[in-house]
Structure 1
Amino acid sequence: MSDGLEVTHGGAIAVDPAALRAVADALVALAPRFADAAAAARLAHGHLAAISTTSAGIDTVAMWGSAERADALHAECRVAGENTRLMADVYELVERRVELDALQIQGLTPSDALVDRITELEASDPRVVEMEKWLIAEWEANRFEGLDQQFDLEGMQSGPGIAAFFAAAAFAGAKGFGRLPPNAALSGRSGPVSVSPVRTTVPIAPPTSLAEGLRRLDASAGQLRVEKYSMSDGSRRFVLYSKGTQILGSNEPFDMASNVDAYFGKESASYAATIEALEQSGAEPGDEVQVYAHSQGAMNAAYLSTQSEFDVSVQVTAGSPLHPTLDGDQLLIELRHPDDIVNTLAGGGLPGGSSSPDSIVATRDGSAIDLGLPAHMLGNYIETAEMLDASGDVRLEAWRDKARELNEAVSIESTEYVAKRE
């Protein structure tokens, strides 16, 4: 894996428009001070130049040059502020259109305020709409970057069958099958599953890093692990760890059949097992759940966030084939490798991002793919999580706040579960 890590809010939106406007306002407010400095330098130059006894000891030429540099900084600061404000409008227009599209998908009528705001942004500057088109076009072109290094698939020993699968995956992602609308729900019922606890321990603390959270799901003896945090006020919080696809065993619910079901909106056996594990751990409707999940487990986490009766407040996913549209109070941290064909099924996410404003997408390119799917392996995503943890990015503070809340628990119990098809 390479070391290039990029952290954004997701989609075509690199930063929060409100944060950009704050920067723009600060730049515009700062600009007049440079003009004042230039005027003061010229005034001082005039006074000193008129005093013959001081001209020899003071470099009045340099002073005049300082005034000119202050003038240049005034112009640069003003232009930078105006351009930053313009980009804030462009980013907000992308977000508002995504919001409008989401309402239309649900068959809901958008508010007058939303429609008026889109109209206002479009009319604010003739460049806004054009730049919005450029931004979306660039995102559309680059969201599958890295896959072109992998598609020498016809020469693989496995033959064109694997090539066809990968090509179909890329097509499905590009067509938006992996992007879930708001409140997405699974249809039908899966076949019967059994969920059995295989080990119960008492961890000493919640995860202290994203990487540690992913390691906990990797270390589980079963496909699922649930930690129950009993708080001093009598409430309970839960942390779910869910593995990805398991390929061994004829009665395995985390299999390819469940992958297909979940991706195309049907209740999978692995999703039913996930709900059962939470319920066996004592989770009830309305209880807060935080999730760490990889691959198929991340698909289940997406629907757990959009349709279950649990309050999914935090979702940390690695290599997810789906991108959910979450509520504004749900924190989503996605780890993506653009050359991970499984992650490509998510279609690059939404151009406007989704979920809490504190949500982030961490992207890192991987090595050329082979039949082992190294870019998709959990170990490589743990490396990406380690890089994100070490980055010092202030956008992780919202996740740290949620993790610190769990430290207030008076007791912690962890149970690992093995699920089987019946």
Structure 2
Amino acid sequence: MSGSVDITHGGAIAVDPEALRSVASALLAIAPTFALAGAAIRRTYNHVLGVPGIIGRVDMGALWASGDRADAMSQECQSAAQNTFLMADVYELVETRAELAALAIADGAAADALSARIAELEASDPRVTEMETWLLAGWKDGRYEGLAEQQLQIPGVFDASWLFLLAAGIGTRRLGAIRSGDTLSGHGDAVSVAPVKTSSPIAPPTSLAEAFRRFPDTKGAQFKVENYTMPDGSHRFVLYAKGTGSPWYGLGEPLDMKSNLELYTGQESASYQATLDVLKAAGAQPGDRVDIYAHSQAAINAAYLSSQSEYDVKVQVTAGSPVHPTLNEDQLLIELRHTDDVVSSLAGGGAPGGSGSPDSFVASRVGDPEYRPHDLLLKTHYLDTYIETAEMVDASGDVRLHAIEENWRELNEAVSIEATEYEAERE
């Protein structure tokens, strides 16, 4: 995986189960067509046998073989359909167990329905649970690939490589899982936000890599908001939010280690308050559509903005997020993760099941396959390294990119675009 990017629906699930069932149904539908073709070829063969003088001009062996091949294709379609239905059941079993585990509150009816579906899937075929075990084992083995080998050490001076494994252990305990209905508690530190630069982009992004390159570049700015005025007069907003900007605790920078700790433990932070204030300053009103591109700490804010704010968040694209959110089926979630990124490992390698719409996906790879002293700088967590991953996803041709591409096409209908960069400071 170090040489390429691995794209899945989420965790152990390669493709959304319903998408697989659609493929299986299509295979079943076409199987009889091949059978009919085989029968027609044999009728033709028998007819040719009865026509004097034509046999020498027709390759009878090839004609008969084509009939055999048509019959074989019919059988192959049926077999492939059955195996695809089986794999869809395995993926659904993984996803349903994850959904049951992610219930934020005791919803007896929902839990009973999920449990009943799990029992139904388990009883449908003994191979389902066996394949589930194999699938999860493969996912667990690969979700931290390259992490333990990071060179967080200077020989003879110190060796803190254990910190990477500790982070992975914390994530594995599901502290990085944001379940449906989770909200932040308390109140974060007060902040002030100020616009520092405005511009007028001519179009929305056309690729994931371009979107991440649109992050604010003015010194001190952590946020950028694009305000799209649509033909009907409505407004749509796109938020680009940087990650942790300071290693200190509770000083001026709101995206600091204090906010990291607060967010990861479910408390409201100065950086979350800054995110709300920036959107308000940009003109976003309750109910307005907001798409989010976020790196690192900002991805936690994006998750809670999606689950507890008054904004309509339908698109959430994150890089190196220390959490994994559970989103609704009408919300598109795209996560870029490096298996050797210590910050991303705080999410526990993501979740075994998918999250968000059927077009949602997780793209992962080993961000920095070579183990060198620069691992001390957490290079694999850098936004630039994730932009390289985004470029690989853009070039993959994965059909699930169509959903985000359609979103960009919708934004391209805007009659005007105004972009503003903001600097936030803890008061």
Q: TM-score, normalised by structure 2?
A: 0.90
Structure 1: runs of 5+ lacking an equivalent:
none
Aligned ranges for residues 87-236 of structure 1 at < 5 Å?
Answer: 87-103=87-103, 105-111=104-110, 113-150=113-150, 153=152, 159-160=158-159, 162-221=160-219, 222-236=221-235
Give the structure 2 partner of residue 420 of structure 1.
425
Q: Is the 8 A contact 1:237 1:289 kept in 2?
A: yes
Q: Is the 8 A contact 1:100 1:110 kept in 2?
A: no
Give the structure 2 partner of residue 319 of structure 1.
320
Q: Secondary structure at the match of 2:53?
A: helix
Give the structure 2 partner of residue 247 of structure 1.
246
Aligned ranges for residues 12-27 of structure 1 at < 5 Å?
Answer: 12-27=12-27
Distance 1:128 1:145 in 2: 27
Distance 1:157 1:243 in 2: 36
Number of aligned residue pairs: give it: 419
Q: Is the 8 A contact 2:242 2:298 kept in 1?
A: yes
Map Cα deviations across residues 269-325 of structure 1 (whole Å, 9 max, x no partner): 211211111122222222211111111111211111112221111111111111111
Distance 1:399 1:24 in 2: 25
Cα deviation, residue 383, structure 1: 1.7
Q: Secondary structure at the match of 1:293?
A: strand
Distance 1:220 1:320 in 2: 23
Cα deviation, residue 101, structure 1: 2.3
Distance 1:165 1:195 in 2: 34
Alignment-mate amino acid for residue 313 of structure 1: K
Q: CA distance change for structure 1 residues 47 and 233 in 2, over 3 Å: closer, same or farther?
A: closer
Give the structure 2 partner of residue 265 of structure 1.
266
Q: Is the 8 A contact 2:18 2:88 kept in 1?
A: yes
Cα deviation, residue 86, structure 1: 0.9
Map Cα deviations across residues 242-285 of structure 1 (whole Å, 9 max, x no partner): 11111378422212222222112122221121111112222222
1:388 to 384, 393, 397: 393
Aligned ranges for residues 335-354 of structure 1 at < 5 Å?
Answer: 335-354=336-355
Q: Is the 8 A contact 1:247 1:255 kept in 2?
A: yes
Map Cα deviations across residues 315-357 of structure 1 (whole Å, 9 max, x no partner): 1111111111111211111111111111111112221111111
Distance 1:417 1:190 in 2: 19
Distance 1:135 1:87 in 2: 10
Q: CA distance change for structure 1 residues 27 and 248 in 2, over 3 Å: closer, same or farther?
A: closer
Matched, 1:306 2:307: yes
Q: Superposition RMSD on alpha carbons, in Å?
A: 2.4
Distance 2:156 2:268 in 1: 34
Q: Secondary structure at the match of 1:79?
A: helix
136-145 or 62-71, which deviates more: 62-71
Q: CA distance change for structure 1 residues 78 and 408 in 2, over 3 Å: closer, same or farther?
A: closer
Q: Secondary structure at the match of 1:137?
A: helix
227-236 or 82-91, which deviates more: 227-236
Give the structure 1 partner of residue 293 of structure 2.
292
Distance 1:66 1:233 in 2: 58
Q: Secondary structure at the match of 1:149?
A: coil
Structure 2: runs of 5+ lacking an equivalent:
none
Q: Is the 8 A contact 1:195 1:418 kept in 2?
A: yes
Q: Is the 8 A contact 2:164 2:342 kept in 1?
A: yes
Distance 1:233 1:202 in 2: 20
60-69 or 345-354, which deviates more: 60-69
Q: Secondary structure at the match of 1:394?
A: coil
Cα deviation, residue 176, structure 1: 1.5
Distance 1:236 1:38 in 2: 58
Distance 1:108 1:328 in 2: 18
Distance 1:303 1:156 in 2: 41
Q: CA distance change for structure 1 residues 156 and 203 in 2, over 3 Å: closer, same or farther?
A: farther
